[in-house]
Structure 1
């Protein structure tokens, strides 16, 4: 497993963690202190903003799970990967692709997300 794959698997661990303390530890280990996340529906800046954003997703989609659906593709400090959000029974309801920038310490500096498939979209 390469460093980018390891980082993105930890990224999904943070998205899926419902325990506040453990999620915070994962965010600190995965994201730089001044990191930013942005997609068409959500945004978060810094550890607090990213934690608040993930918490809001847990509140809206309880017991749903994010999972990586592609290999992590990357070069230099850039990476990309695709994912899906599944219901508790494993049905995918949202699919997306994210693009990231990794800082010199190996943590995420920025992630930009794109929604590839959403409920009701053709």
Structure 2
């Protein structure tokens, strides 16, 4: 079975990757070729689409980073986890700007088939 914690940590790292080429490479390593990402603000398929959504989030919240909240949970081909977006360098006590939860469907070889994001806390846009 896939090391879920490692997969989720790599997922969070991809969301924090600011270099476009490195970010696309991370997405290609994590997602199936036809994988997708859906949240209240986006619905995309394919590596380029996922990388573009991540870039868009970084542009909306410059100077912020994603971090995992708690441990991921998994069963069968599903994994869920919570995360938050905080100011970079803010330390453990930094107040989150956004809090969310994602549920992912994995392929047989442990890649992300689809990720569904939910926002529990978000600023008014």
TM-score, scaled relative to structure 2: 0.89
Shift of residue 28 of structure 1?
Answer: 0.8
CA 48–38 in structure 1, closer or farther in 2 if over 3 Å, else same: same
Alignment correspondent of 1:55: 55
Greater Cα offset, 82-91 or 15-24? 82-91
Q: Which runs of 5+ in 1 are unaligned?
A: none
Q: Distance in 1 between matches of 2:97 and 2:59?
A: 16
Q: Distance in 1 between matches of 2:12 and 2:44?
A: 16
Counterparts of 1:33-52 in structure 2, within 5 Å, are: 33-52=33-52
Alignment correspondent of 1:27: 27
SS of the aligned residue for 2:56 comes to helix
CA contact (8 A) 1:44 1:52 kept: no
Count of residues in correspondence between the two structures: 119
Counterparts of 1:26-105 in structure 2, within 5 Å, are: 26-88=26-88, 89=90, 90-105=94-109
SS of the aligned residue for 1:106 comes to coil
Q: Distance in 1 between matches of 2:96 and 2:44?
A: 24
Q: Distance in 2 between matches of 1:42 and 1:53?
A: 7
Alignment correspondent of 1:7: 7
Alignment correspondent of 2:111: 107
Shift of residue 116 of structure 1?
Answer: 0.9
C-alpha RMSD of matched pairs (Å) = 1.3
TM-score, scaled relative to structure 1: 0.91
